[in-house]
Amino acid sequence: TQLLEQSPQFLSIQEGENLTVYCNSSSVFSSLQWYRQEPGEGPVLLVTVVTGGEVKKLKRLTFQFGDARKDSSLHITAAQPGDTGLYLCAGAPMNYGGSQGNLIFGKGTKLSVKP
Amino acid sequence: KAGVTQTPRYLIKTRGQQVTLSCSPISGHRSVSWYQQTPGQGLQFLFEYFSETQRNKGNFPGRFSGRQFSNSRSEMNVSTLELGDSALYLCASRLGGTNTEAFFGQGTRLTVV
């Protein structure tokens, strides 16, 4: 069974602080996606990383895919209250799209940024 | 272009009843996946449909079923509802093939009383 361990589970910080969320697995993924979800809404896709070692930036958010494509991190610089939400990582198994169509989700990191 | 549309947004049902949820994917997307989200278990995969065929199924009882129509719209059905079926049900739309990017609808909040 493929699993994605996400940490920390909860994070409460002050506006302006930096933070990093981690997503780890013993399995190799063909790609990894990060989502942000507001309460009662569906997850919104932030980024997809595909190549081992890849780094993508989205304003104050930096996403990295591990060299071995087993782990990923999300770093937020100078967090703002608008960053508050549930951050989810989701890995696409190696045979995704063929015999396997389900993304493997981490349990999520609930981030609260206080003004 | 329009996103993924799920209807209804909210549902309250009693134990033993059945329910049907609907999902309209992004135009041109042929893959629709369904997930159940609960606070304790997170997002769990139910099943995936591609070109009207169920390709994958998660570890859920047979009370959970689905189908996909020729226009890629999908429905999922839960029969003999149990209290533990209360959850946010999410539909994800994907272009298909090796494209891994999945786009979610707003979900249907099902409450079983």
Kindly tell me if the per-residue pLDDT of A99 is higher than 60.
no
Strand partners, B6: B23
pLDDT of residue A98: 58
Determine which of B6, B29, B43 to mutate to test the interface with A (most A C-beta atoms within 10 Å): B43
Q: To the nearest whole angstrom, how far is the Cα of A14 from the nearest Cα of chain B?
A: 25
Kindly tell me if the per-residue pLDDT of A30 is higher than 80.
yes
Contact B94, B33 (CB under 8 A): yes
Indicate yes or no: CB of A100 within 8 angstroms of CB of B31: no
Please name the member of A45, A101, A108 whose beta carbon is closest to the beta carbon of B42: A108
Q: How far is CA B35 from CA A89, A90, A107, B46, in A?
A: 15, 13, 13, 5
Kindly tell me if the per-residue pLDDT of B97 is higher than 80.
no
Residue A100 binned pLDDT confidence (cut-offs 50, 70, 90):
low
Closest CA to A109 of A13, A16, A26, A30: A13
* B39 → chain A, closest CA residue: A107
Over residues A1-23, mean pLDDT: 94
Indicate yes or no: CB of A107 within 8 angstroms of CB of B42: yes
A23 interfaces chain B, CB cutoff of 8 Å: no
φ, ψ of residue B18 to 5 degrees: the values are -120, 160
Determine which of A45, A103, A107 to mutate to test the interface with B (most B C-beta atoms within 10 Å): A103
Percent composition of chain A: helix, strand, coil (DSSP 3-state, to 5): 5, 55, 45
Contact A82, A38 (CB under 8 A): no
Contact B45, B56 (CB under 8 A): yes
Q: To the nearest whole angstrom, how far is the Cα of B79 from the nearest Cα of chain A?
A: 23
Indicate yes or no: CB of A103 within 8 angstroms of CB of B109: no
Indicate yes or no: CB of B104 within 8 angstroms of CB of A48: no
pLDDT of residue A97: 63
* B89 → chain A, closest CA residue: A42
Determine which of A102, A105, A109 to mutate to test the interface with B (most B C-beta atoms within 10 Å): A102
A101 interfaces chain B, CB cutoff of 8 Å: yes
What single string gives the DSSP state of each residue in chain B? Answer: ----EEE-SEEEE-TT--EEEEEE--TT--EEEEEEEETTTEEEEEEEEETTEEEEE-S--TTEEEEE-TTS-EEEEE-S--GGG-EEEEEEEE--TT----EE---EEEEE-
Q: To the nearest whole angstrom, how far is the Cα of B81 from the nearest Cα of chain A?
A: 21
Q: How far is CA A74 from CA A46, A70, B31, B44, in A?
A: 11, 14, 28, 22
Can you say whether residue B42 is alpha, beta or left, with left for phi > 0 and alpha for psi between -120 and 50 degrees? left
Kindly tell me if the per-residue pLDDT of A52 is higher than 80.
yes
Q: Report CA A50 to chain centroid distance, whole Å.
A: 13
pLDDT in tens, B47-96: 999 999 998 899 999 999 999 999 999 999 999 999 999 999 999 999 88
Mean pLDDT for chain B?
94
Contact A49, A115 (CB under 8 A): no
